[in-house]
Structure 1
Amino acid sequence: MRVYPDQISKHLTSLKQCYMVFGDDPWLCETTRSLILQKAKKQGFDETIQLTQENNFNWNELLEQWQTLSLFSSRRIIELTLPQAKPGTQGSAMLQSLLKSPNPDILLLIMGPKLALEQTKSKWFKVIDEAGVFIPCPTPEGTQFQRWINDRISHFKLQIESDAQKMLTGLYEGNLLAADQALQLLQLLNPTQPINSHQLEQYFEDQSRFSVFQLIDTLLYNQKKKALHILVQLKAEGVALPIILWSLFKELTILLQLKTAQEDKESLQPHWSQLRIWDKKKPAYQAALSRLKLSHIDNLLIKTSALEMKLKQQGNDDWVGVSHLCLLFDPEAHNHLAHIKM
């Protein structure tokens, strides 16, 4: 059964045999883990055994813990960490076997990084998912992050004005841990009075974290201000410029193929499948296709190649040039700035 982190507390009144917490967000994973442990201890699970699947991990150790009576507690929690989110052949067989022999005095908590789609189709996952609860913990983005931060504001009983809420979103999007710490600080500094953006400026500095994929999405949607903000953050975090240029070139090549098909009056359906563009990503490409001409995309590709060539031949990390390139995803800016050489 799949349950999202914001709903998990409602599902802990009667505990399942197993909980799986997988995701790329440290704050969500740890908060979810802590909540499960807290609820379990209230129901008599007083001892915790921690196992980690490292090199030469012996899966029989998990079997022994599952079958052995504790000297200290009648009920135990076994925390099993899968660093690669892959138990392997032996681990998969062991997990399936254990779940066929339920032990009401054991709660199994499995944790690891974000699962790929094919991993959720594996036998071990399906068996555990049927007997327990799967809590995916990806970092919320966009409106999901806004909803998360609004929930945390309510949790801390803060009065934050709309301009300050927007500033918090810009400051901390992608970094839930820093956002939660900031709200805790605000609760200490200003627990009862409304908080505006001017006060936030005095308290905090920018601690948002972004990925190259988020940069691409903002460009496809023509969110210039946010794109430049993400680019600054990526540079500050030490993301290599070749990675950004490679991503831009890849996405522009996809856009070129789609736009060419569109110009030729072809259906885009076979292209979506061929290019592995899933339904969630289609609106972003459609927004760019409706906005950009074929000549715009051609020019963007040329300028991306020029920046890459400058980097390879001269070792020049031209972040200003990449910023300029980001602006050219807007046709109006393209018409006024495209003549500038990279």
Structure 2
Amino acid sequence: MRVYPDQLSRHLNPLHACYLIFGDDPWLLETSKDQIRQAAKRQGFEERVQLIQETGFNWGDLTQEWQSMSLFSSRRIIELTLPNAKPGADGSAALQALLQTPNPDVLLILEGPKLASEQTNSKWFKTLDSLGIYLPCTTPEGDQFRRWLDSRITHFKLNLQPDARVMLYTLYEGNLLAADQAMQLLQLLSPSQPIGADELSHYFEDQSRFTVFQLTDALLNNRQDSAQHMLAQLNGEGTAMPILLWALFKELQLLLSLKSEQAQGAPLNSLFGKYRIWDKRKPLYQTALQRLSLTQIEHMLAFASKLELNLKQLGHEDWTGLSHLCLLFDPKAHGHLAHISLD
């Protein structure tokens, strides 16, 4: 049964046997999966198995997971990614066979790219669609986008004036991820104050200009020249330092968690699932984790904490210190900047 993402909450209690999440909008794909996972957890689905249809994928593995008993006596979610949304003859047969022998203790989630009519008319899809929920996650446009944005404004409890809403519509139509990140920052800065277009213009720029999130991406990729240029421009445009520190803290704390658990033997792919890291961002974290040691990440967090303390207690916006913190995303800088003190 076809259900649009904004209607998903009505189809989670009780859960259906399977959910088919296909589309080209990363925000809708990820939030839809999160909603299903949270609902499943409330209904006793504690385990999660992730499979990807790669070259040489054995469909027997999926059947075995479907039929096997849980090691922990809990219900289980199987998440299967179909990168091309083409399971082939073996996969088509396996998927149809699974749903013909329902297992109330297993929930199946399929995900992949936007489907063409060739796929939605296939036998495997029609079988699963008749027994589960199909979520087409395509980016909303026009009035649909405005309704989506209004719902997120309500979610974040923002007090936006009509002219500010129009500005958000104009700046972010077609980019749900950027729009959602923008509203996260607005909530941080002005959780209840009325915000008009004039105030909004101080916080955000057109998509062609640098943003805080572009800065963190550059740092994770160790593109230091670009990152330092972005930082200088963000400073020149009056970007509030608490926003930048918040963004860097968020990335460093995530890197620390990933690095610590990876050192204890946890597979990186399972950690990406645990911390809800989107596919497009996984290479950024892989690069950073290969480059930085646990000790270096801990040092960077301590450095960031000192910057924040100086800002809160002394009102001191140390842009030089912030630049040094950004440089520390390059492991070579740790030796050169070891003598730097913020006391």
TM > 0.5 fold call: yes
Question: Is the counterpart of residue 100 in structure 1 residue 100 in structure 2?
Answer: yes
Kept in 2, the 8 Å contact 1:45–1:73? The answer is: no
Q: Report the alpha carbon displacement of residue 199 of structure 1 after superposing the two structures with TM.
A: 1.0
Shift of 1:188: 1.4
CA–CA distance in structure 2, aligned partners of residues 191 and 38 of structure 1: 26
Aligned partner of 2:142: which letter?
G
CA separation in 1, counterparts of 2:121 and 2:198?
A: 49
Counterpart residue type for residue 143 of structure 1: D
Supply the AA of the counterpart residue of 2:186.
Answer: L
Aligned to 2:169: 169
By how many angstroms is 1:165 displaced? 0.8
Structure 1 position 123, deviation (Å): 0.5
Verify: 1:198 aligned to 2:195, yes or no: no
1:87 alignment counterpart? 87
- Write the deviation string for residues 99-136 of structure 1: whole angstroms up to 9, x where unpaired: 11111110000000110122111100111011110011
Alignment of 1:31-46 (within 5 A): 31-46=31-46
Q: Structure 2 CA distance, aligned partners of 1:207 and 1:122? A: 39
Question: Structure 2: 5+ residue runs without aligned partners?
Answer: 209-343
Q: TM-score by structure 1 length?
A: 0.60
What is the Cα deviation at residue 94 of structure 1?
A: 0.5
What secondary structure sits across from 1:191 in the alignment?
coil
- Give the aligned partner of residue 61 of structure 1: 61
| C-alpha distance after superposition, 1:56-113 (max 9, x if no partner) | 1110000110111111233100000000011111100110111111111100000001
Whole-angstrom distance in 2 between the partners of 1:200 and 1:117: 42
Q: CA deviation at 1:11?
A: 1.1
In 2, Cα distance between equivalents of 1:188 and 1:62: 43
State the secondary structure of the residue aligned to 1:108: strand
Provide, for residues 193-252 of structure 1, a one-character-per-residue CA deviation record: whole Å limited to 9, x for no partner: 2111111111011238xxxxxxxxxxxxxxxxxxxxxxxxxxxxxxxxxxxxxxxxxxxx
CA-to-aligned-CA distance 1:290-326 (integer Å, 9 cap, x gap): xxxxxxxxxxxxxxxxxxxxxxxxxxxxxxxxxxxxx
Name 1:138's counterpart in structure 2.
Answer: 138
Q: Deviations over 1:17-51 (max 9, x none)?
A: 10010010000000000000000011011000000
What is the number of residues matched between the two proteins? Answer: 208
TM-score if structure 2 supplies the norm length? 0.60
Q: Could you tell me how far apart the structure 2 residues matched to 1:112 and 1:68 are?
A: 25
Give SS of 2:20's match: strand
Name the residue aligned to 2:29.
Answer: 29
Cα distance in structure 2, aligned partners of 1:37 and 1:4: 17
Q: Which residue of 1 aligns with 2:258?
A: none
Distance 1:73 1:29 in 2: 29
Which residue of 2 is the match for residue 115 of structure 1? 115
Paired amino acid for 1:160: L
What one-letter code is carried by the residue in structure 2 that aligns with 1:18? C
Aligned counterparts of 1:24 and 1:7: Cα–Cα separation in 2 = 18
Aligned to 1:314: none
Encode CA deviations 1:1-28: one digit per residue, 9 max, x unaligned.
1111001011111011100100100000
Asked if structure 2 preserves the Cα contact closer than 8 Å seen for 1:164 and 1:195, the reply is: yes
Does the 8 A contact of 1:46 with 1:73 survive in 2? no
Kindly indicate whether the alpha-carbon contact (under 8 Å) linking 1:175 and 1:207 is maintained by their aligned counterparts in 2: no
1:72 aligns to 2:63 (yes or no): no
Give the aligned partner of residue 337 of structure 1: none
Which residue of 2 is the match for residue 148 of structure 1? 148
User: Does the CA contact (< 8 Å) of 1:141 and 1:174 recur in 2?
Assistant: yes
Superposition deviation, residue 162 in structure 1: 1.3
SS at match of 2:115: coil
Matched, 1:14 2:14: yes
Q: Which residue in 2 is equivalent to 1:308?
A: none
* Counterpart residue type for residue 205 of structure 2: E
Partner SS, residue 16 of structure 1: coil
**Over 6 Å off, 4+ runs:** none
> Identity over aligned residues, as a percent?
65
Shift of 1:154: 1.0
Distance 1:174 1:186 in 2: 19
Unmatched 5+ stretches in structure 1: 209-342
| CA RMSD, 1 decimal | 1.0
